[in-house]
Structure 1
Amino acid sequence: MTGINKRGLGFYLQIYRKILVQDLKSKMSYRADFIISTIGMIISNLTGFVTFAILFQNFPSINGWNVYEMLFLYGFSLVALTPVQCFFDNNWNLRYMVKSGDFIKYCFRPINIFFYFISEVFDVKGLGQLAFGIATIVYAWGNLSIPVTPLVILELVVFLFAASLFMIAIMNFAAAVCFWIVQSGYVMVIMFRFKDYAKYPASIFSGIFRIIFTFVIPIAFIAYYPSLAILRPENVPILTWLSPVIGLLFFYLSYKFWMLGARKYDGTGS
C-alpha cells in the first residue's frame, strides 16, 4: 500500500510517539556510544566556531559581514539542520534497503510509507547540534544588540522552521534517487556536503554560484535568506518573506518524488 492512508494527524502522532520511545530505549541501552557520539558532534561543530574566530583575527569583516553576524548564520544553520539530522536520518539507509529488497516490508502496512520509513530512526546525536546551535545564536545575538521582542522571536521560529524544510527536501530528493539508480550513494554524500556552504552569506559567492545555491540547490535558504529578517530587518529581500512558502512547496515536491519512487518499487519489485 503506497497511498496516503486516510487517518488523522492524531493517529500518526500517537504511532510516532510509540516508535520513538522504542527507538530511544534501544539507543539508551548503549549509553557510552550515545555520550561519545554526542560529544563528537559538539566538538565537530565547535571546530566551525573556532574557524570563524581564527578567520576574523585577520579580517574585520567578509563582504560586509562581521564576526557576530557570521556566527549568527552559523548557529542558525545548525539549528535549521537539526530536524534532518534527528528525524530524517533513516534516508541514509534507504538505498541499502531498496537494493536488498528489505524495503518491501513498508509496502504492506496500512499507514503512509514515507511516515513509516522515516519514523523508524531518531538520531539523538542531533540534539547536541541543536544545543550548540542555540548557544551560538544566543551568543551572537547578545553581541549584535538585536532587540528581544515577541515578534522577533516569532520570526526566528518561523524562519528556522522554513529553513529546515529546505535541507529535509534536498535529502529526500537525494535519497529517493536510489529507486532509479542502484549506486546512488554519491548523490546523498554530495548533497549533504553542500550544507557546509549554508553557514556563509550567499552574497560572498559569484553570480553563477549564487544562482545555483538559490534556485537549483537552495542552500542559501537554510540560513542566509531566512536570517536576514533578524539580522538586517531594514533591508529584507522578497525571497526572505517567501521562504516559508517556498520551503513548504519544496518539501511537498520532495515528498511526492520520494513516494513516486516508492510506488515504482512496489510495482516492479526492483
Structure 2
Amino acid sequence: MFYGGLFWEYLKNYAKTRLTYRADFWVEVISDLMFQGMNLIVILIAFRHTPTLGGWTEAEVVFVYGFFMVPFGIFGCFFNLWNFSDRYIVKGEMDRVLTRPAHNLFQVLLENMDPPSLFGAIVGGIIMAITSVQMGITYGPADILVLMLLVAGSVAIYFGVYTALTAIAFYSDAPTGILPLMYNIQNYGRYPINIYNKMMRFLLTWIVPFAFVGVYPAAYFLKRSGPDDILMAFLTPVVGLVFAGIGLAVWNHGVKRYRGAGS
C-alpha cells in the first residue's frame, strides 16, 4: 500500500508537470515513434533485396520487431536510468534519496518515469496485431496469458541488465560509455538469432540475453517453434528473474559502498 500510494503520487506530479509543457510531451512522443519507425523502415528495405532472412519471412521479422518494442516501451517508462550517474552521483542527489524511508532504487525509478515511452509499446502491439492477421495467427485466452508472462520476463531482463550497469556509477563516476554500447547490442535481439555466428548467439542468449527480449519469445507465437524453441521461449521469465536478481544485488552492493557526493 505504501509503495502503491507513492507510485500514484509521483504519477500525478508527472502529469501536472507535463500538462504545463504539453508541447514537450508530444514532441518526445513523436520523436520516439519516428526513431522506431526508422528502424522498421530498415527492416522493410532489407526485404526488398531478399525474400527471407535466415529462413524468416518479412512478416515474421516485423512481428518480432513489434514484440521487441512492447517490453522495451514498458521498460523505458518505468525503469528509466539513463542519466543516473550525472544526476545522482556527480550532482549529489543520491544523498537526498538515501535520507527518505522508501527503497532508494524505487525512488530513483519513480523520479525518472517516462510515460511517453509507452506509446512505443502500444505501436509494437499494433504491429504484432497487423502481422498476426497477415499470417493468420489467432490468439486464445491461454496465448494472452503467455504473452503477458513473456513480456514481463523480457522487461525483467532489461531491468536486470541496465540496473547492474547503472550501478557501476557507485564504483566510478567517470563516464564509461557502456550504456550506449549495451543499447546498440540489445538491437540485435530483434532479428532472427540464427543469422549470427555461434559466438554472437551465445553472447545474446546467455551473457547479455537480449535474444530473450525479442526473437525467442516472439517465435513461440509464430508457430514455427520446435521443442527446443518452445523451451527457449519459456525460459524468458526464468532468465528475467535471474538477471533482475543480479541487477538488484549489484545495485544494493553499490549503495552500501556509496559514501556521499563529497566536497
Same fold (TM over 0.5): yes
Q: In structure 2, give the amino acid aligned to 1:137.
A: M
1:92 aligned to 2:52? Answer: no
The yes-or-no answer on 1:239 pairing with 2:229 is: no
1:233 and 1:59, CA in 2 relative to 1: closer, same or farther beyond 3 A?
A: closer
Aligned partner (choices 101, 104, 116) of residue 95 of structure 2: 104
Deviations 1:89-119 (A, max 9, x none): 1x12221121222211111111111111111
Instruction: State the match for 2:105 in structure 1.
Output: 114
Deviation of the 1:84 alpha carbon: 1.9
Which shows bigger deviation, 138-147 or 206-215?
138-147
Flag the 1:152–1:233 CA change in 2: closer, same or farther, 3 A: farther
Shift of 1:28: 2.4
Report if the CA contact (8 A) 1:177-1:184 is conserved.
no
How far did 1:49 drift? 2.0
Counterpart of 1:6 in structure 2 is none
Kept in 1, the 8 Å contact 2:74–2:121? The answer is no
Within 5 Å, which residues of 2 pair with 1:1-270?
Answer: 10-89=1-80, 91-96=81-86, 97-232=88-223, 234-237=225-228, 238-266=231-259
Shift of residue 266, structure 1, vs aligned partner:
4.3
1:226-253 deviation line (CA, Å, top 9, x unaligned): 1122113641422222221221121121
Bigger mean CA offset, 72-81 vs 181-190: 181-190
Aligned mates of 1:12, 1:65 — CA distance in 2: 44
Contact 1:95 1:185 in 2 (8 A): no
Q: TM-score, normalised by structure 2?
A: 0.93
Deviation at 1:183, TM superposition (A): 1.6
Q: Which runs of 5+ in 2 are unaligned?
A: none
Q: Partner amino acid for 2:255?
A: A
Paired with 2:181 and 2:240, the residues of 1 have a C-alpha distance of 21
Aligned counterparts of 1:233 and 1:201: Cα–Cα separation in 2: 12
The question of whether the paired residues in 2 share the 8 Å contact of 1:171 and 1:192 is answered with no
Aligned to 1:7: none
Question: 1: CA distance between counterparts of 2:221 and 2:162?
Answer: 26
Please give the alpha-carbon distance, in whole angstroms, between the structure 1 residues aligned to 2:123 and 2:19. Answer: 21
Identity fraction in percent: 25
Which whole-Å deviations, capped at 9, do the CAs of 1:49-102 have from their partners, x for residues lacking one? 22222211221101110001101110000001012211111x122211212222
- Counterpart amino acid of 1:72? F
Alpha-carbon separation, structure 2, partners of 1:199 and 1:234:
17
1:94-147 CA distances to partner (integer Å, 9 max, x unpaired)?
A: 211212222111111111111111111211220221121111111111111112
Q: SS of the counterpart of 1:58?
A: coil
Q: CA deviation at 1:27?
A: 2.1
How far apart, in 2, do the equivalents of 1:88 and 1:28 lie?
22
3-state SS of paired residue (2:42): helix
* Matches of 1:55 and 1:268, distance apart in 2: 49
1:181 aligns to what SS in structure 2?
Answer: coil
Counterpart residue identity of residue 251, structure 1: A
Per-residue deviation at 1:185? 4.3
For the aligned residues, what is the CA RMSD?
1.7
Structure 1 residue runs of 4 or more that deviate by more than 6 Å after TM superposition? none
